Amino acid sequence: MFLLLLSTLRAILSTNSPNISTDQSALLALKSHITHDPYNLLATNWSTSTYVCNWIGVTCGSRHHRVTALDLSSMDLTGTIPSQLGNLSFLVSLNIRHNSFHGSLPIELTNLHRLGYLNFGNNSFNGEIPSWFGYLAELQSLFLHMNNFNGVIPFTFGNLSKLETMSVYNNNLKGHLPSELFDNLSKLQRLDLSGIQISGRVPNNLFNCKELKFLSLHGNFLEGSIPREIGNLNKLQILYLHHNNLKAIDFSNNQFVGEIPKTLGELHSLIVLNLSHNCLTGSIPSSLGDLSELESLDLSSNEFRGRIPTKLNNLGFLEVLNLSHNNLKGPIPQGKQFDTFTNDSYIRNLGLCGSPLSKSCDNDEETPAKLDRVVVDDEINWKFSILMGYGCGLVLGLSMGYIVFTTGKPWWFIRIYERVRQRFVKR
């Protein structure tokens, strides 16, 4: 009697507990919410006559035989997300990027407590970014980019202590970055918040995310200065800040290497740029001459080579210039703001010459203006040579055409042509 009761109880529990049938029902609910399936991928494959773990885009775990991954990316699907999708309680990875899903996201997705990878990128979701994303404690990668989300970035994202990648770029957001957003994101490696119209200052605790390798904040309305604490990001490889309203960047006394990116010249509101005491190499990009509001430029104590760009003469508000302790050479640009700087701006650059230094330029060291003229002259001569070549070719071609039409077949020309052609064929 006891055994009969126990077996009955087990049957009841197995009937009520979630299983693969629950997962199948959840996926069929998703299928019913898809209004456009141009390749009939789900229409023909997602059928009750086929085992759910064999459905396209579905992966099941070997232990519990439950759905652990769903990948419907780049299938040109159109539809909405049903609440039943939250019943996929063993789901670890959900990827529906590059489709046309729209509408809002159901709160039932918070039941996906095992979820580690979530990619809703490049769809048409709208409404505010749900704050409940911050309660998916296992989340490591979150992609919400290229949608129509509005509102602000929820401060609850700061709860995602395992997060390594957050991509929210190209949405219709606004407001400031929450000051507590980066308090617990110590594992964050990639952060892309570009083109989302956020404003205000960059929170200082962002620079406590010491695992960051990629940081993009460009295309916003950020203001203020980038503090030198950015030097804490010693693993940072890529940084995008252009098209903002930043006033000052101080990256001094760090170990940055490589060349100054030309796009730095797109920070047109910049007033102070300090990259001194690093290990930067290459030449000083002429694009820095586009920083029309710049008042202070310090590139000292690096390993810059080459000439000082004459375009820096465009910096009409420049009051402080320090290029000392580099490997620069050639004549110092003259005129405008450069007439106001002293020797201290250029010391320990043994190859520099010209005022205000006591070392004069040799006769064979052309001034920047002369060099520009030489380049222009060479370009003119080059173009003239090409035009002469085209002209001679035109005259010769017309002459040969005239001979052909007036004499019939010029056999002497044909024999020469045949000999040359055969010679090249033998090679």
Cβ count within 10 A of residue 12: 10
Both 73 and 93 in a single domain? yes
Both 314 and 376 in a single domain? no
Give me the pLDDT at residue 364, please. 58
Give me the pLDDT at residue 418, please. 43
170 backbone φψ class: left, alpha, beta (φ>0; ψ -120 to 50)? left
Q: Considering 258, 276, 294, which residue would you say is the last residue of a domain?
A: 276
Give me the pLDDT at residue 366, please. 52
Can you give the CATH number for the domain in which 228 is found? 3.80.10.10
Contacts of 30 (CB under 8 A, 6+ apart): 79, 81, 82, 84, 85
Q: Which domain range does residue 281 map to? A: 277-365
Q: Considering 242, 276, 310, which residue would you say is the last residue of a domain?
A: 276
DSSP secondary structure string for all residues of 197-220? --EEPPPGGGGG-TT--EEE--SS
Both 343 and 388 in a single domain? no
Contacts of 269 (CB under 8 A, 6+ apart): 244, 245, 246, 247, 293
- 71 φ, ψ (degrees, to nearest 5): -125, 105
Both 295 and 393 in a single domain? no
HSE on the CB side for 345, CA within 13 Å?
22
Both 347 and 421 in a single domain? no
Edge-to-edge strand list for the sheet holding 141-143: 58-60, 67-71, 93-95, 117-119, 141-143, 165-167, 190-192, 214-216, 238-240
In a domain, 1, yes or no: no
Give me the pLDDT at residue 246, please. 81
Both 257 and 318 in a single domain? no
Is residue 151 helix, strand or coil?
A: strand
Both 112 and 157 in a single domain? yes
Q: Considering 276, 311, 339, which residue would you say is the last residue of a domain?
A: 276
Both 254 and 310 in a single domain? no
Residue entry with tokens 């009955």: 8
Both 187 and 233 in a single domain? yes
Give me the pLDDT at residue 359, please. 92
In a domain, 8, yes or no: no
Give me the pLDDT at residue 17, please. 55
Both 320 and 255 in a single domain? no
d(CA 161, CA 328): 46
Both 342 and 264 in a single domain? no
In a domain, 157, yes or no: yes
Domain count, the chain: 3
277 backbone φψ class: left, alpha, beta (φ>0; ψ -120 to 50)? left
Both 259 and 296 in a single domain? no
Q: What is the mean pLDDT of each run of 10 residues along the chain (427 residues)?
A: 43 55 97 97 94 97 96 98 98 98 97 98 97 97 98 96 98 93 96 94 91 93 80 84 84 85 86 92 96 95 96 95 97 94 95 94 61 42 43 44 43 39 39
Q: What pairing do the DSSP bridges indicate for beta strands 67-71 and 58-60?
A: antiparallel
Give me the pLDDT at residue 261, please. 87
Give me the pLDDT at residue 379, please. 40
